[in-house]
Amino acid sequence: MRIGVIGAGVMGSGIAQVLAQSGHVVHCTDVAEDALAKAHEGVTTGRYGFERAVTRGRLDRAQADAALDRLTFSTDFESAVGEAELIVECVPEKLDLKIKVFRELDRLAAADTILASNSSGFPLASLAASTDRPANVIIWHWASPPVVMKFAEIVVSDDTDPQVIERVREIAAGCGKNPIVVKDHPMAWGYVANRVYAAMLAEAGRVVAEGVASHEEVNQLMVDCFGWPVGPFAMVKGATSGWKD
């Protein structure tokens, strides 16, 4: 499948890498040349990049080279969109920006192209309403780092085409993810995962504000008690700025 990824940040580049590694031809585009350069560096030599995967025995050299050959980074938005059967939008989490991008995607993409968003919590209804193809618009919410996390929160509404839902589920499963389909709730931010996480993070903030424990201590307690890979505050930092060695 030919897939366009819009945005080459922490999430967009990781998503593009996973899709290419899973056999898809992927064109990742961004308006910033430096973001594209950083993305290319990340998928090749970064912590979760192809070189590390080969070194650790998770991919052989031929698999890594083939995946990289399927992956293009460029500022050519129209090519990324016009040739795609599926588009995954990964621009910054600003609703007005996402709506603007979806209007452009609707204008440039083929009529049957699926338009997916990696939004962290904006309503599907808002994005779908900005297009003339609401049945083909869906949320495919990934977790950071995309290469590692099996999370795939698929958000749908009564207007979403069942064939679109099934196709996205199949693609997610083919990427080694565990797709869970949930219902859109236009009056609430965060779908399921981030609604629950936001409540937990708010309480963790209160614990620190009350002087009960420090940010670092809260992080460590949650790791030690619940087996989380990182604590709640470290999760926010990693999801926004990337995961360092």
Distance CA 110, CA 89 (A): 16
The CB density around residue 199, as the number of other CB atoms within 10 Å, is: 11
Distance CA 92, CA 94 (A): 6
Distance CA 214, CA 212 (A): 7
Residue from 163, 168, 166 nearest 142 by CA? 168
The tokens describing 108, both together, are: 């440039």
Distance CA 88, CA 12 (A): 8
Spot the catalytic one: 40, 141, 185, 215: 141
Contact 94, 115 (CB under 8 A): no
C-alpha to C-alpha distances, 165 to 59, 82, 128, 182, 204, nearest whole angstrom: 30, 21, 14, 11, 35
The terminus-to-terminus CA distance of the chain in angstroms comes to: 33
Q: Helices 232-241 and 215-226, interaxial angle, to 10°?
A: 100
Contact 16, 71 (CB under 8 A): yes
**141 carries an active-site annotation:** yes
**189 HSE (CA, 13 A, CB side):** 9
Which residues are tagged catalytic? 141
